[in-house]
Amino acid sequence: MRSTRRTAELTAAALLEIRALSVQFSTGDGPVYAVNDLDLQVRRGEVLGMVGESGSGKSQTWLAVLGLLAKNGHAEGSVRLDGEEILNAPSRTLTRLRGNRVGMIFQDPMTAMNPFLTVGRQMTEVLQWHRGLSRRAAEARCIEALTAVHITDAARRLQMYPHEFSGGMRQRVMIATALLTEPQLLICDEPTTALDVTVQAQILALLDELRQRHGTAIVLITHDLGVVAQLADRVVVMYAGRQVETAEVHTLYGAYRHPYTEGLLRSVPRLDEARAERLATIPGRPPDLAQRPPGCPFAPRCAYAAPICAQQMPPLVALGPEHLRACHYGGALKSEARGA
Amino acid sequence: MIRFLLRRLAWAIPTLWVIVTLSFFMLRLAPGGPFTEARRLPPQVMANLERMYHLNEPVWEQYGRYLEHMVRGDFGPSYVYRSTTVNQLIAQGLPVDLTIGGLALALALLIGMPLGMLAALRQNRAWDYVSMAGAMIGISVPTFVVAPLLILLLAVKAHWLPAGGWSHGRLSHLVLPVAVLTLPLLAYVARLMRGSMIEVLNSPYIRTARAKGLPERTVLLRHALRPALMPLISFLGPAAVNTLTGSIIVEEIFGLPGIGRFFVDGAMNRDYTLVMGVTILYAVLIIAFNLLADVLYGVLDPRARLS
């Protein structure tokens, strides 16, 4: 699905630039550090994968970017969209930006649509608000948009309610809605997690088709490495609110350099290998986000950890033109010889 | 929708019949009768009375007679309020309760809903704490404490309002009883509204609405309000009936000629027909308001429209 031809075009200036982003939540038990000191770029037209386990900060990063954090959340740092600072911008700026220049779709299309409003109402309101279209003109555009995501009989379906749609159709509606305003960036938070495998493949094919046709940049937040492999140009691996490794997708799968990435990739079940041994797992527990250890957050679970790992945070270092890693360990990873 | 209504109305008839039958026989099982008083009547007088009211007949015959009259809308003569029918008693008393209860309901909704919404939007801030503390007081302090207090302050000390009486529903006579009835109801509505609003505002589809860049007032009015009203509707069905059929405490304290006292007086005096009358009235209202709630559910929530 990924075209190598496009890689050259990606060198253009960043569409979105995140600098030193930190997200905290204040809770009854003290602060929880969800994202720590994150630097990241999204380039025009690229698909950026964000992978990590639950609580790695991959979703909160993007909710913070759009000002959609829960009430007890707080973000610091800088986020620039086309050079314009948008982090913690006034709500008037954000409401003009969200659903207009930056779209976002969510994990569970069952609960992400309002059950009390027709699909048409939930689509047309976007165009009425952002584009000032009349209801009728907006409806005509929505019919086109639904047809573009391969929903047939769109005019009739606009009158229907979300519960009359299947899960896959609802996610198509969500995507069509997010694309109504032709955003420069579409953030997809686990877009296929709640769907069964065949529907998942259809949605991924649809996302790929859309970015090819419109050149929309897509951020794909997921814990599913298979999804990332299919669609992403570059991948950011997150752990405990930190970026641990970033690389172009083939580099990441073929020549990963971080022990956590190794753990993630080795714990994916494979059908093309004999079931000689048990599926690899990462030992230990996910990190406690209420703590901010001085060293590498992965150190307690890391097979390669040295004394320095627990004391000093490894800096994010460039290993190649598109390859960044935050790790003290300099030797070879155990599975590298295998050539994943 | 029409088929749903017809089916529900058809079900109301057997439901009512069960209620009527159960109450009829349970009343007869209670010891004593309408004319067994502390001061015993001469046997001849007693026999005459029982013959006049058909109480000397077998119970099943009385039951048949009662059903027959009931179907025609005649609830019979009261045994205790002599030479008055139950129909007359209810027709005189009910308007008092409908006026006071209706006003209290309307006020509780008009004030309680915005109050609860505001508390939800200012969650965990001063306004939220103050209004919810007030609501807690409104719910937990009983009417028989609030009513005398208000009478003492506003009627006895300040002379602003009359301490009681009905006076054909003069506005000044309505203020205190309506206020006393409104208070706990309003508190309940506000708390319910706050809770459901907070829940709805945390739901994924509200996040979607915000992610679409909609202004906050659209998010609230178009996306959040309707779902947040649903718990209120379930609560209002029975609550409205209780409020509209009068409260014996409020009626006693303010000396109002409503029907709330009949529920207790009738039972104490074994005034069979009066108890039956108010029971049936209550049951009919409960059935009607629950049906209304279900219809409203269907109107508001498209998912409830199918079956």
Q: pLDDT tens, A128-143?
A: 999 999 999 999 999 9
Q: Where are the beta strands (DSSP E) in chain A?
A: 14-27, 30-43, 47-51, 73-81, 84-85, 102-105, 185-189, 217-222, 234-239, 242-248, 316-320, 323-326
Q: Residue holding tokens 């006076």?
A: B167
Q: Which domains does chain B have, with CATH numbers?
A: 93-258 (1.10.3720.10)
**Total count of domains within chain A:** 1
The verdict on residue A322 lying in a domain is no
**How do strand A47-51 and strand A234-239 relate by DSSP bridges?**
parallel
At A197 the pLDDT is 84
The verdict on residue A175 lying in a domain is yes
**What are the 10-residue block averages of pLDDT along chain B, 307 residues in total?**
84 93 91 76 85 87 92 89 90 93 96 94 87 90 90 89 84 92 95 96 95 94 95 92 89 90 87 92 93 89 77
Q: Residue holding tokens 């609960």?
A: A111
Structure-token pair, residue A18: 């995140």
Decide which of A96 and B165 is more confident: A96
Q: What is the CATH number of the domain that holds A184?
A: 3.40.50.300
The verdict on residue A284 lying in a domain is no
For CA atoms A270, A273, A274, A279, the dihedral sign is negative
DSSP letters along A205-230, please? HHHHHHHHHH--EEEEEES-HHHHHH
At B229 the pLDDT is 94
A132 Cβ contact list (under 8 Å, min separation 6): none
At A4 the pLDDT is 43
At A267 the pLDDT is 82
Helix-strand-coil split of chain B, %, nearest 5: 75, 0, 20
Q: Which residues of A fall below an 8 Å CB-CB distance to B?
A: 66, 68, 70-71, 91, 94-100, 103-106, 108, 111-118, 125-126, 129-130, 161, 163, 174, 177-178
Q: Return the bridge partners of A119, or none.
A: none
Confidence of residue A277 (pLDDT cuts 50, 70, 90): low
Q: pLDDT tens, A30-71?
A: 999 999 999 999 999 999 999 998 889 999 999 999 999 998
The verdict on residue A201 lying in a domain is yes
For CA atoms B134, B135, B139, B142, the dihedral sign is positive
At B57 the pLDDT is 87
**Cβ–Cβ < 8 Å for A114, A162:** yes
Say what the pTM is: 0.84
At B38 the pLDDT is 64
Pairwise CB contact (< 8 Å): B208 & A174: yes
The verdict on residue A296 lying in a domain is no
- Taking residues A102-110, what's their average pLDDT? 88
Chain A residues whose CB is inside 8 A of the B211 CB are 66, 68, 98-99, 103-106
Confidence of residue A298 (pLDDT cuts 50, 70, 90): very high
DSSP label at residue B286: H
Domain that holds residue A187: 4-239
Q: At residue A270, does pLDDT exceed 90?
A: no
**Tell me, what amino acid is at B171?**
L
Q: Please state the separation of Cα A203 from the chain's center in Å.
A: 15
> Has the ipTM of the complex gone over 0.85?
yes
Residue among A191, A281, A175 nearest A227 (CA): A191
The verdict on residue A288 lying in a domain is no
B287 Cβ contact list (under 8 Å, min separation 6): B12, B15, B16
Q: pLDDT tens, A150-209?
A: 899 999 999 999 999 998 899 999 999 998 999 999 999 988 887 888 888 888 898 888
Pairwise CB contact (< 8 Å): A66 & B211: yes
At A55 the pLDDT is 85
At A1 the pLDDT is 43
CA distance B120 to chain A (A): 12
Q: What span, in angstroms and rounded, lies between the C-alpha atoms of B234 and B285?
A: 15
Q: What span, in angstroms and rounded, lies between the C-alpha atoms of B198 and B192?
A: 10
Radius of gyration (C-alpha) of chain B in whole angstroms:
24
The verdict on residue A292 lying in a domain is no
At A338 the pLDDT is 47
The verdict on residue A278 lying in a domain is no
DSSP letters along B69-101, please? HHHTT---B-SSSTT-BHHHHHHHHHHHHHHHH
Chain B residues whose CB is inside 8 A of the A105 CB are 211
Q: Count CB-CB contacts under 10 A for residue A4.
A: 8
3-state secondary structure of A17: strand
Q: Return the bridge partners of A105, or none.
A: A188
DSSP label at residue B281: H
